Amino acid sequence: MSASAAAAAPPTRLPPCWGCIALAIGVVAAVTASFAYLAVDYRQLFSHESMRLMAKFVGEFFPPDVAPAFLAKATWGALQTFAVAAVGTLLAVAAGAAIALPASGRFGLAPRLGARLVLNFLRSVPELVWAALMVIAAGLGPFAGTLALALHTTGVLGRLYAESLENASPAPERALREGGSGRVAAFAYATLPLVTAQGVAYALYRLEMNIRMAAVLGFVGAGGLGQLLYFHLSIFQQAQASTLLIAMFVLVFAVDSLSAFVRGRLLPAHG
Amino acid sequence: MSATAATIQRPAAPLRDPATTARATALVAAVVVLWPLLALAEFRPWQLFDTSHLQVMANFLAGFLPPATAPDFLALLARATLETLAIATAGIALAFVVAAPLAVVATRALAVSRIGPGPGRAAGASIRTATRGVLTVLRAIPEVVWALVFVRALGLGPGAGVLALAVTYGGMLGKVYTEILESGDTRSARALLEAGSPRLGALFYALVPSTAQELASYTVYRWECAVRASVVMGFVGAGGLGQLMDQSMKMLNGGEASTILLTFLALVIVADAMSALIRRVLS
Amino acid sequence: MSLRLEAAGLVHANGHRALRDVSIALERGERVAVIGPSGAGKTTLVRLLGTSLKPSEGRLFIDDGDPWQLGANELRRLRARIGVVHQSPPIPGRLRVVTAVLAGRLGTWPAWNAIASLVVPGDAAGARAMLDRLDLGDRVFDRCDRLSGGQLQRVGIARVLYQQPEIVLADEPVSALDPALADLSVGALVAESETRGATLVASLHAVDLALKWFPRLVGMKAGEVVFDRPNAAVTSSMLHDLYATEGRALPEQGVDIVEEVRRHNVVSLKRPGCQ
C-alpha cells in the first residue's frame, strides 16, 4: 500500500474490545446470579414491620453507655486489644525475618521452596481460623489471639521481607565478604541497612491491620474489645455495644495516626 | 593532621558517640512498654505445653484424618461454597454502588470550584472532606464486626454478610477509587470542566477511559479479598463455608473441619488465579 | 606480602576479553601505579589481584601461594589481609561513617563484637584518626547518604586504612576528588604503605598523581601491559602513545604535567605536609 493511498483511505475505527465486552457481560451475569442464589426475600426485608424492627434495633444503639464503670471496662478492653495486636506483630516480625532468610534464596533452592511453602500456608489460613485453633491449643483468652495474629502475620511479613532481601543490592555484602568478613557480619553491615527502613514500614502497616483483627478475634474468645462486644450483643445490650464500637473506632484511629507519624519521620541511622 | 600518627600506635582517647544516649533511652523505653503489654496479652508460652491442652489438640488434629467425604456432607459443602462466592460477588456489587458516587463527589479531579479558583471553593472543599470522612468511618470497623451486628438485626444467613461487605468494602473501594481518579488524566478532565461540561461528562469522557483498567483491576483484587472475608464472616453466622466450619469446629468434628479447610484453601487458590487472569486480560 | 601474576588473562562471561597475558611481580612493600585509558583493564587487574575475580588463564601467586587453591576459611583469612579501595564505595546510605570505617576490621573481629559495634561503635576514636588523615574527621558520626561522592570515596579509603592490610589495592580511589584532596588521599595511601611496609597497587586515571607518588609505573591498554618501568624511565612520548585514544592532552588531576612534576619533585616520596 503506497503512502499516498494510505493517506487517502478514510480513518478506520478501532475494533471493539471483545474481551472487555465479554467481561462486562460476565460480571453482570455473575452479580445477578449471586443475588438470585442468595434468595434474599427483599419484599420481606423492606416490609413495614421489618423496617420498624430495624429502626428500633438501631435506635437502641443511642445513646451509648458512658457510665464510668463501663468506660473503665471498655478502656481495659481497648488496651488488651492493643497489647494482643502489638505483641502478635512483634513476634511476627522476629519469626518473619528469620524465615525470610531462607525464603530469599540465601541458602539454596530447596530451603527457598520450603520456606515459601510455610509462609504461604501461614498466610492463607485466615486469622479467625488460626484463633479458633489456638483457643484449643492454648485455652480461651488473649494469648490465643496473640498467637493467631503472630502465625498469620509471620506469613505476610515473611514474604514481604523475603522480597525486600531479594531486591536489595548484593554489592555491599559482596565487597565485605571479599574483604574477609564473616557471613553474619557482612549481612549485618551491608544488606540489613538496605532493608530495615522498609521492613519497619511494613511492620507498622501490619500493626494497623492487626488492631482491627485483634478486635475481631475476641469473637472466638480471644479477649479484648471483641470479646466484650460479642458478649453484649448476644444479650442484646445495644447501648454497651455502641460504646464498644466507638472505642474500637478511636483505637483504630489512634494507631493509624501513630503509625503514619512514625513512618513519616526519618528512621535513625543504622550502626 | 600529620600522617606520622600512624607510625606511633598511640591508643586514641575515647570519642563520645552522640547516638549512644538516644539508643540507650530507646532500649529502656522499649522494655518499660513491653512488660505491661506482655502482661495484658496474657503471654504465657508454657500454656502451649499444658498436658490437657495438648491432649485436646492432639485429639482434634487426629480427627483431621481422614477428611469427611460422606455424599450428603459434600453436597452441603458445595452449597456452602457457592453461597460464599455469591456473598462475595453480591457484596462487592453493592460496595461498588456505595463507593462510586462517593468517590465521584470526593475526588479533586472533578472539582469545578478549584478552577480559578472559582466561587464555592470553601463549600466544595468541605463537602469533599466530609465525604472522605464518611469513607474513613465506613472503613474503620472491620467487616466481621458489622456482620455480627447485622446478624443480630437480620438473623443468621448471608444477608448480614452481604450488607457488611457493602459497608466496609464500600469505604475501601471509595477511598481507592478517589485516589485512582486523581492519578488519571486530570488535565483532560479539567479542560472539559473549563469548557462547561457537567461533572459526569468529564468523568466518563476523560477520567474513566484513562483509569478504567486500574479501577477494574483493584475491584477484582477486592473481590478476591471479599471471598476470604466471606468465609471469616461465616464464623459469626453470615452463612457460607465459614458458618459450616464454625459448626464443625464447635462439635470438634475434625474430619469435617479438615475437608472444609481444604475446600477453603482450594477456593482461595482458584479465586487468586481467576483474579490474576482477569487482571491480566484487562491490561 | 609479595604478589605475582603469570601470564594471567580474563574473559568475562559475555565473551569480552578484559585482560591478556599479564605478567607482573611485586615484592613486599613495593608501590606501583597502573595507568591507562578507560577500558584498559585497570579495574579488572585490581580485582584479579584482590581475589575478587578468578583468572581464566594463567595464575596468581600471593606470597608464592595460589590463593585459589586454598580452603574457604584460609581464603577468608587471606582476604582480611588484603584491602581494596573501590572507585565507587558500595556502602549503604543509612550506615554512619564511623560504622562504615570500622567495617574494615570485620575480617578479624568475632561475630559478636561486630554486632555489638553496630549498636555502640567499639572504636570510634580509631575510626576518627583514619578520617583525620583524609580531612574528614568532623563527619565521623554523619550518615553516609549525607556525603558527597568525593567524601564517600574518602570514607572507602579510611576503611582500608583502618583495616591495616598487608596489601592495598586501590581502583581509581580519587576519581571524584579535587586536585588538593586527591593529592592528600594518594599521599595517605603511600604513607601507609611506607610506614607499615604494605604492598600498594593503585590504578589511576590521572598521570600526574602517578608520576608524583609512585616509583614504578605500569601502562595498560586494551587489556595488555604496554610498559612496566621505573618512574624515571617513563618518557612523555610513551605516555602520549598510551593515551592516544583519549586525545592530545594527558589526563591529570592537578596543574602539573610530566616535566613540571619531574622538575619539582624529582621522584621525591616525602610525606605530604599537613593540610
**How far is the C-alpha of B98 from the C-alpha of B169, rounded, in Å?**
9
Strand partners of residue C26: C3
Element of type H or E holding C210: helix C207-213
Q: Which residues in B lie closer than 8 A to residue A31 (C-beta atoms)? A: 89-90, 93
Query: Which CA distances in Å does A265 have to B34, C92, C190?
Result: 22, 19, 43
**How far is the C-alpha of B274 from the C-alpha of B212, rounded, in Å?**
19
For an interface test with A, give the residue of C106, C112, C166 to mutate (most A CBs within 10 A). Answer: C106
Chain C residue with the nearest C-alpha to that of B16: C124
C195 touches chain B (CB under 8 A): yes
Closest residue by Cα to residue C195 from B2, B255, B262, A93: B2
Residue carrying C-alpha cell 465479554: A22
The answer to whether C99 contacts A189, with C-beta atoms less than 8 Å apart, is yes
Q: How far is B34 from chain C (nearest CA, A)?
A: 20
**How far is the C-alpha of B60 from the C-alpha of A260, rounded, in Å?**
42
Query: What's the whole-number mean pLDDT along residues C112-134?
Result: 93
B265 touches chain A (CB under 8 A): yes
Q: Which residues in C lie closer than 8 A to residue B13 (C-beta atoms)? A: 125
Q: What is the DSSP letter of C225?
A: E
Strand partners of residue C229: C217
Strand partners of residue C65: C62
Closest residue by Cα to residue B167 from B237, B239, B91, B231: B91
Rg from Cα positions in chain C = 18
Element of type H or E holding A123: helix A109-124
**How far is the C-alpha of B205 from the C-alpha of B213, rounded, in Å?**
15
Q: How far is C99 from chain B (nearest CA, A)?
A: 11
Instruction: Inform me whether the pLDDT recorded for C275 exceeds 70.
Output: no
Domains and CATH numbers, chain B: 72-282 (1.10.3720.10)
Please, what's the b/e burial string for C144-155 (b: 16 or more CB within 10 A of its CB; e: otherwise)? beebeebbbbbb
Q: What is the DSSP letter of B197?
A: -
Contacts within 8 Å (CB) and 24+ apart, B149-152:
B149/A233, B149/A241, B150/B238, B151/B236, B151/B237, B151/B238, B152/A57, B152/A233, B152/A234, B152/A236
3-state helix, strand, coil in chain B (%, to 5): 80, 0, 20
**How far is the C-alpha of B124 from the C-alpha of B130, rounded, in Å?**
10
Closest residue by Cα to residue B171 from B218, B208, B137, B220: B137
Cα dihedral A236, A238, A240, A246 sign? positive
Q: Which residues in A lie closer than 8 A to residue B18 (C-beta atoms)? A: none
Q: Which residues in C lie closer than 8 A to residue A194 (C-beta atoms)? A: 92, 94
**How far is the C-alpha of A38 from the C-alpha of B84, rounded, in Å?**
10
Identify whether the C-beta of residue A244 lies closer than 8 Å to the C-beta of residue A228: yes
**Confidence class of residue C128 from pLDDT cuts 50, 70 and 90?**
very high
**How far is the C-alpha of A62 from the C-alpha of B64, rounded, in Å?**
46
The answer to whether A185 contacts C109, with C-beta atoms less than 8 Å apart, is yes
Peptide bond into B66 cis (omega under 30): yes
Closest residue by Cα to residue C164 from B21, A261, B9, B232: B9
**How far is the C-alpha of C37 from the C-alpha of C205, rounded, in Å?**
7
Lookup: cell for B200: 459526569
Q: From the list B41, B87, B281, which residue is nearest A87 (CB)?
A: B41
Lookup: cell for C188: 595517605
Q: How far is A204 from chain B (nearest CA, A)?
A: 15
Instruction: Inform me whether the pLDDT recorded for C3 exceeds 60.
Output: yes
Provide the pLDDT for residue A221. Answer: 85
Provide the pLDDT for residue A12. Answer: 59
Give the global pTM: 0.80
Instruction: Inform me whether the pLDDT recorded for C259 exceeds 50.
Output: no
The answer to whether C107 contacts A271, with C-beta atoms less than 8 Å apart, is no
**How far is the C-alpha of C196 from the C-alpha of C161, rounded, in Å?**
11
A132 touches chain B (CB under 8 A): yes
C156 touches chain A (CB under 8 A): no
Using 70 as the pLDDT threshold, list the residues of chain A that sit under it.
1-16, 40-45, 266-267
A265 touches chain C (CB under 8 A): no
The answer to whether C98 contacts B17, with C-beta atoms less than 8 Å apart, is yes
C118 touches chain A (CB under 8 A): yes
Cα dihedral B80, B83, B89, B94 sign? negative
Q: Which residues in B lie closer than 8 A to residue C187 (C-beta atoms)? A: 3
One-letter amino acid identity for A105?
A: G
C71 touches chain A (CB under 8 A): no
A138 touches chain B (CB under 8 A): yes
The answer to whether C124 contacts B14, with C-beta atoms less than 8 Å apart, is yes
Rg from Cα positions in chain B = 28
C98 touches chain B (CB under 8 A): yes
pLDDT along chain B (283 residues), means of 10: 48 77 91 93 86 82 80 90 93 94 88 78 87 88 86 85 94 90 82 84 84 85 89 89 87 84 87 82 73
| Helix, coil or strand: residue B215 | helix
- Within 13 Å, how many C-alpha atoms sit on residue C190's CB side? 22
pLDDT, tens digit, for every residue of C156-207?
A: 999 999 999 999 999 999 999 999 999 999 999 999 999 999 999 999 988 9
Closest residue by Cα to residue B229 from B140, B282, B164: B164
Query: Phi/psi zone of residue B282: left (φ > 0), alpha (ψ -120 to 50 degrees), beta?
Result: alpha
Q: Which of residues 52-111 of A touch B (CB under 8 A)?
A: 54, 57-58, 79-80, 82-84, 86-88
Lookup: cell for C123: 572504636
Identify whether the C-beta of residue B123 lies closer than 8 Å to the C-beta of residue B200: no
CB pairs under 8 A between A and C: 93
Q: Which of residues 225-244 of B touch A (CB under 8 A)?
A: 228, 231-232, 235-236, 242
Provide the pLDDT for residue B2. Answer: 46
The answer to whether B153 contacts A35, with C-beta atoms less than 8 Å apart, is no
Chain C residue with the nearest C-alpha to that of B21: C120
Identify whether the C-beta of residue B275 lies closer than 8 Å to the C-beta of residue B224: yes
Lookup: cell for C243: 593515551
Identify whether the C-beta of residue C173 lies closer than 8 Å to the C-beta of residue C189: yes
Provide the pLDDT for residue B203. Answer: 85
Chain A residue with the nearest C-alpha to that of B156: A40
Lookup: cell for B162: 452481604
**How far is the C-alpha of A249 from the C-alpha of B142, rounded, in Å?**
10
B125 touches chain A (CB under 8 A): no
Q: Which of residues 57-116 of A touch C (CB under 8 A)?
A: none
Residue B247 CB neighbours (<10 A) = 15
Provide the pLDDT for residue A5. Answer: 46
Q: What is the dihedral of CA B237, B239, B245, B248, to 10 degrees?
A: 70
Residues contacting residue B83 through CB under 8 Å, at least 6 positions apart: A37, A38, B158, B239, B240, B241
Identify whether the C-beta of residue C60 lies closer than 8 Å to the C-beta of residue C68: yes
β-pairing, C224-230 with C216-221? antiparallel
**How far is the C-alpha of C220 from the C-alpha of C23, rounded, in Å?**
12
**How far is the C-alpha of A15 from the C-alpha of A13, rounded, in Å?**
6
